[in-house]
């Protein structure tokens, strides 16, 4: 059995990954500073013998180094995420994403512990070459627009990870996650699905940003976690970048209508300009669709849950959260 260190393990994806790895009999250690993660996410794992968690920042080098040495492989998920957070706290975004990854790679390199680095579909930026292939060009916007600092910081993480592999033979694999959603995701940092579901359940106005014609492909976190586990166990995946997501597109207008009907909500749906939702001059991506050929060939990945399955799970979770 392996021993995995998960940075950001109390976050939305990290807690689901921790649970899945524990269910397979592995040891799991989580390090999380609870900046965007939550202790509630791992509460149910605390009494498991093979689970350990440390509440601290990954920029605590000596601690991180000890934790990395003690494990067999690292999932590096700790990062500043959420468009709202990124726009409001650009310094924190850039520092967390760049310094954190640098330290994780440095520590892992000492004993050549394999590292999976979680990157994002944001790195494709304004590319219009659909579906996005891993070897496609990344098209960034101006540095005066905060959003792109997230894409750039993650792209730099990818460069750094690949450089560690090339120059120092550190085993790394990079994943670009596309709009991962499911139970336990918080809407606090702007993510659309938990926001809409909460608004609908509370009878508040459902806030569609822009004209709502922009579309996304949402993936259930359980599908993503399955791919993360398989990729880590596949030596042929090392040194490569993989998209993980789904190809089923839905416009944000249709998402709002679907959430409203599935929750039987009487909420109104209203449109809010991007300038008010985020900041003046905010640039959104009208579409974002992954090419999944690579990950399918490598680990047989196919998303199994559609948008209705996803919303069912999120609605059930948010209903419980609202009643406790």
Site for ligand UDP, rule CB under 6 A: 83, 179, 190-192, 195, 207-210, 214, 216, 252, 284
Neighbours of 11 (CB within 10 A): 29
**45 DSSP 8-state letter:** G
Find the catalytic residue in 150, 209, 278, 301: 150
Distance separating alpha carbons of residues 60 and 67, to the nearest angstrom: 11
Q: How far is the CB of 285 from ligand UDP (least distance, A)?
A: 7
Distance separating alpha carbons of residues 293 and 288, to the nearest angstrom: 16
Nearest to 52 by CA among 30, 73, 22: 30
CB contact at 8 A, 67 and 78:
no
Q: How far is the CB of 39 from ligand UDP (least distance, A)?
A: 23
Q: How far is the CB of 319 from ligand UDP (least distance, A)?
A: 19
> Cα 126–311–296 angle (5° rounding)?
55
> What is the three-class DSSP state of 53?
strand
Whichever of 29 and 119 has its CB closer to ligand UDP, that residue is 119
Whichever of 30 and 255 has its CB closer to ligand UDP, that residue is 255
CB contact at 8 A, 277 and 207:
yes
Whichever of 186 and 207 has its CB closer to ligand UDP, that residue is 207
Q: How far is the CB of 154 from ligand UDP (least distance, A)?
A: 12
- The verdict on whether 209 is a catalytic residue reads no
CB contact at 8 A, 41 and 8:
no
Whichever of 288 and 305 has its CB closer to ligand UDP, that residue is 288
Distance separating alpha carbons of residues 36 and 191, to the nearest angstrom: 12
Active-site residues, by number, are 150
């Amino acid at each position: 059995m392996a021993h995995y260190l998960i940075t950001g393990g109390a976050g939305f994806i990290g807690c689901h990954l921790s649970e899945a790895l524990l269910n397979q009999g592995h040891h799991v250690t989580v390090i999380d500073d609870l900046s965007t993660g939550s202790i509630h996410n791992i509460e149910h794992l605390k009494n498991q013998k093979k689970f350990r968690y440390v509440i601290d920042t990954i920029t605590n080098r000596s601690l991180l180094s000890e934790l990395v040495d003690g494990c067999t492989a690292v999932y590096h998920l700790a990062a500043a995420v959420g468009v709202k957070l990124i726009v409001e706290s650009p310094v924190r975004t850039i520092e967390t994403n760049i310094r954190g990854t640098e330290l994780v790679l440095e520590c892992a390199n000492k004993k050549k512990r394999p590292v999976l680095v979680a990157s994002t579909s944001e790195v494709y930026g304004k590319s219009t070459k659909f579906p996005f292939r891993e070897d496609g060009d990344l098209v960034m916007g101006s540095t005066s627009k905060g959003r792109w600092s997230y894409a750039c910081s993650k792209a730099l993480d990818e460069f750094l990870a690949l450089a560690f592999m090339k120059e120092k033979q550190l085993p790394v694999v990079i994943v670009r996650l596309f709009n991962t959603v499911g139970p336990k995701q918080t809407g606090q940092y702007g993510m659309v699905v938990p926001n809409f579901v909460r608004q609908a359940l509370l009878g508040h106005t459902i806030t569609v940003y822009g004209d709502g014609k922009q579309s996304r492909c949402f993936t259930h976190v359980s599908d993503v976690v399955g791919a993360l586990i398989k990729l880590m166990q596949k030596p042929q995946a090392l040194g490569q970048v993989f998209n993980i997501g789904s190809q089923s597109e839905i416009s944000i207008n249709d998402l709002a209508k679907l959430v409203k009907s599935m929750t039987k909500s009487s909420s109104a749906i209203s449109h809010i300009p991007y300038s008010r939702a985020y900041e003046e001059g905010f640039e959104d991506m009208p579409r974002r669709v992954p090419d999944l050929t690579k990950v399918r060939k490598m680990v047989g990945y196919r998303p199994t849950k559609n948008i209705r399955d996803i919303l069912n799970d999120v609605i059930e979770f948010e209903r419980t959260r609202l009643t406790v």
